[in-house]
Structure 1
Amino acid sequence: MLCWKKRPRRSILTVITCAVTYVGVVNLLAFYSMIRSYDSPVSWIQHYGHMFIQRTGTNNWTCKGLRYSTIPLPPTALVSFPGSGNTWLRHVIQQATGVATGSTYTDAALKRDGFPGEGQTNGSVIVVKTHSWGKEERARYVRAVLLIRDPFQALLAEFNRRHGGHKGHAPTEHFEKNWYDYILGTAGEWYDLYHDWMTFDGPVHVIMYGDLRSNPSAELDRLMKFLGVTLTHKEKFCVLSNYEGNHKRRGKPVSDVYTDYMTYLIKNYKQKLTTELSHFLNKSTIRIS
């Protein structure tokens, strides 16, 4: 009788143990297979990235220890009109390469906020931020990355930076006082900058801000290939998990700030650059976003 009673207990315990083990092994194999064979790290991160972020305890970790290159790197301009996401792209590049990005400017706030290469323009940094153009500026570099954002968005972002800081928004009274003159004096500079850099003699890599947002995996691959950097699956996963960083503007922006005349003026510049870009890139259609 005693043996008869013990035997079912052992059988039930064995069944439960086997079931738990089976479920655990299947899940581990599925997890491993997903990591090794996913085609789009973006879709993987969209589904599972939040869990990863919770486990790290922060949204702004560092994928690689940031350093200066000990081997002189080719001087590479990271060109953009102010307000086009230059700081954000520098964050992505630093996450992917582990090498500091430089700048022709020295911004103390950015230097404190994860960009130690502010003010550095030599071969120790992987790219150099610049908002300048002209023959002398182009002559400083052997290759260039052009980051282009829709002028309506870029002009507004830059105005907010000037009057609200890197992460704030300009107060309403500043729009009432300064906005009109700012647009008249600055909208043409958006076009002039990119028009000038399309005459650059060295290799040029063009990134549309909208594509960087909507298709980060493909844009990261293209950019790293241009910079001569190879990423492992694990490294790419980390970069895309921490893609946004901690550099987004906070709060609700002022909207409906463009008058009919401003819209007409900016659309003309945008169309003109779109046409030139299509010839420059040998593409029939270009969408600046």
Structure 2
Amino acid sequence: MVLTKPKVSDKSKTEVEGVNVGWTNQCAKAQPLGYRKIVHLVGLGFIMCFAYLASISIINQSGQIHLLLENAANGNLSYSSISPAQHSQAPNFPSIFRQPPITAPQQQNTTEWCQPLHFKAEPGPVVALASFPGSGNTWFRYLLQQASGIMTGSVFKNLNLLRNGFPGENIANGSVSVIKLHKTTIQRMEAFDKLILLVRDPLPAILAEFNRQAGGQVGYAPPWAFKENNGERWGRFVYKRGVSWEEMNLAWFSHFSPQNRLIVFYVDLKTQTEIQLRRVLTFLNIPVRDAMISCALARRQGLYHRPKRILHFEVFNSSMRQTLADHKRRVYSILGKPATFEKKPLNRT
């Protein structure tokens, strides 16, 4: 018996083939559609990524704009009379700190100087102007520049100061009269030949620094900042900075010999400005000229003076006052200054 393959009718074959052909056609049609979807999804991903990066850029730019507006409100947007070319032509003295140079915008400065500011004729000792933040370092530099005509330097890169009367900002070598800094490290102290230590009472110094951090160079902390979290934030700031104030002043004082250090108290600089300026100029071996001293006294106010503001509450409680008084007593006893204390409420910020 011979087995034969059953025959499939043409109709059945057509139906089967039709099903196969139809399924194949549907797959063929689906492939281009899926490819387009993939392309669309990839494109959408690129668009979302671009939008995210653009939003980050806008946020950064808005932050810079906010900073510019804040500086403008504080009156900090006037500029240095030293052009970028002049700033880049500082004498090629070795810098004690390696920092990239700053290019100052070529704008007109509104500060009137007793004489045009200049570098030292010859490099001299590298002199630190050390102080706890909020102790009047910027005002001291301003007075010294008026009385001497020589630029003061700094280890910082404050563009507002660079543009507004301090063309020696970010210069830290013997070409400037003094170099501003705050931090205390053995490495930094050993980089200097001499020291001017500017000391201010810890209460107003800490308050000034709190205002600066919250409100800018001549701004204020908002009243609610002192009461935030029931005053916890402000309290932590006071106690921590009180310890730093004592440690910083004693470290700098003890590191330099008596012949290489000069102590200037902020209160004396305010009440005996002429006497203190003459002391400083003599210590720096800068000629003392009566005409320059008189000119500096006539322009003693400066641009970075924070005007007084009266709050309707006491910012330092009794515990804060006692703690800071203890810090002050220990420091002033070593520095040879009688420790007097303000008894009336300190609500002027």
- For the residues of structure 2 that align with 1:265 and 1:234, how far apart are their CA atoms? 44
- The one-letter code matched in structure 2 to 1:122 is N
Superimposed CA distance per residue, residues 84-113 of structure 1 (whole angstroms, 9 cap, x where no aligned partner): 000000001111111111111111111111
Secondary structure of 1:84's aligned partner: coil
Aligned residue number for residue 144 of structure 1:
195
- For the residues of structure 2 that align with 1:180 and 1:136, how far apart are their CA atoms? 31
**Would you say the 8 A contact 1:101–1:117 is kept in 2?**
yes
Asked if 1:266 is matched to 2:330, the reply is: no
Asked if 1:65 is matched to 2:120, the reply is: no
Aligned residue number for residue 235 of structure 2:
180
- The one-letter code matched in structure 2 to 1:183 is V
Structure 1, 213-222 or 249-258: larger mean CA deviation: 249-258
Aligned residue number for residue 255 of structure 2:
200
What is the CA-CA distance between 1:233 and the residue it aligns to?
2.0
- The one-letter code matched in structure 1 to 2:239 is L
Q: Structure 1 residue aligned with 2:309, among 252, 260, 266?
A: 252
- The one-letter code matched in structure 1 to 2:117 is L
What is the CA-CA distance between 1:81 and the residue it aligns to?
0.4
Runs of 4+ in 1 over 3 A off after TM superposition: none
**Would you say the 8 A contact 2:127–2:177 is kept in 1?**
yes
Aligned residue number for residue 243 of structure 1:
300
Distance verdict in 2 for CA 1:86–1:230, change over 3 Å? same
**Structure 2-normalised TM-score?**
0.62
**Would you say the 8 A contact 1:150–1:288 is kept in 2?**
no
Aligned residue number for residue 338 of structure 2:
286
Aligned residue number for residue 215 of structure 1:
272
**Would you say the 8 A contact 1:274–1:288 is kept in 2?**
no
Distance verdict in 2 for CA 1:68–1:288, change over 3 Å? farther
What is the CA-CA distance between 1:170 and the residue it aligns to?
0.7
Superimposed CA distance per residue, residues 27-73 of structure 1 (whole angstroms, 9 cap, x where no aligned partner): xxxxxxxxxxxxxxxxxxxxxxxxxxxxxxxx952101012224112
Secondary structure of 2:130's aligned partner: strand
Aligned residue number for residue 139 of structure 2:
88
Q: How many residues align?
A: 225
Any gaps of 5 or more consecutive residues in structure 1?
Answer: 1-58, 279-284
Secondary structure of 2:255's aligned partner: coil
- For the residues of structure 2 that align with 1:143 and 1:112, how far apart are their CA atoms? 28
What is the CA-CA distance between 1:287 and the residue it aligns to?
4.2
CA-based RMSD: 1.7
**Would you say the 8 A contact 1:102–1:119 is kept in 2?**
yes
Aligned residue number for residue 91 of structure 2:
none
Distance verdict in 2 for CA 1:288–1:134, change over 3 Å? farther
Aligned residue number for residue 333 of structure 2:
275
Secondary structure of 2:129's aligned partner: strand
What is the CA-CA distance between 1:145 and the residue it aligns to?
0.3
- For the residues of structure 2 that align with 1:141 and 1:215, how far apart are their CA atoms? 27
Q: Whose relative contact order is higher, 1 or 2, with alpha carbons under 8 Å and at least 6 apart?
A: 1
